[in-house]
Structure 1
Amino acid sequence: MRVIKTDIPDIKVIEPQVFGDERGFFLETFRTDWFKNNCANVDFVQDNHSKSRQGILRGLHYQTVKPQGKLVRVVSGEVFDVTVDMRKDSPTYGRWFGVMLSAENKRLLWVPAGFAHGFYVVSETAEFVYKCTNYYHPESEISVKYDDPTLNIAWPLVNGEKPSLSGKDEAALAFVDAPTF
């Protein structure tokens, strides 16, 4: 595995080594010792798996009481994955980073606690899996508007159409109104 640095130093793109031939492939997606030495000294407590259809946007989410770090990857399809730094005292506060994650490129993204996170499905469907450093705490979950003009995120919307959002994401907060860390 190798780490690809990003413009936000705490965000890491991880490219696994893939061994394959005409029969298929094998790759290691996670190893505790490697991750702690190369990304973050954290422990994961929960794994999640979601499936979404094209045009669905989930996020931008984070938890204020029990913040979660997330190690995310796509096992089917392709998404545009985005993180936003919500740490008020950070030199990268309010900056976003986006990357295409797909079953084909097999990349993972490390999103530390203190960041909002979301993804947009660009393929017909996508299955998204992620490890979390804390348990889901719905009472403290915050959603920030995906199209907030302060953030100006360049979402690759299919045919330029408005994405499909949950009720929670339709009622999301403006970035300037969202709690920080």
Structure 2
Amino acid sequence: MSDRHTADTITDDALDQLYAELGQLYKENAAAVTALADMARKRNEQMDRADRAEAALARVRGLADRLDEFAENALKTSDRQLYTAIANDIRNHATPAATQATDDACCGKPEGALCVHDVTPPIGEQRERPTPPDGTPYRYHEITAEGWEHCDGCGLWGQWTVANPHECANDRVQPADQTKEQ
């Protein structure tokens, strides 16, 4: 026989227990609905924030494009190089790779795959933005005036020339043309 009660066999105590269990299930369901509504609200807030961030990045990339236009129309070579360098620096800091969460896999490669960031930089190249010996940060024009360049592909800084070219380990993006006027 089953333990299921019928109207003829249920006692008052058993009925009270069933109502108590039903009340507990209603409370748990209400808590779950509230938690789900909170998660949906937070998700919507995060999506709105992400949309605003993407719009801001698009405006920054637009600024970099305008700087490229200025570079094309600049009369002096040094001005062209400066505008191009600033535009490239803006793009370096406004790329999805630069703005993605730190817990994502590096370079979009699968977890555990060898990445260009796992390899020690060659002599004369470095990962960090160049700084003078006293440790104070250079301003961008000081970096470029000393011949430093940044590779978008591997993220290295170096003083590359035609005699000492940069060989990027990342085949997706190559550094700026190294045959430009010096």
TM-score range, shorter-chain basis? under 0.3
Q: Could you say which structure has the greater relative contact order, defined with CA pairs below 8 angstroms and 6 or more residues apart?
A: 1
TM-score norm. by structure 1 comes to 0.20
Structure label with greater radius of gyration: 2
TM-score norm. by structure 2 comes to 0.20
Higher helix proportion (structure 1 or 2):
2
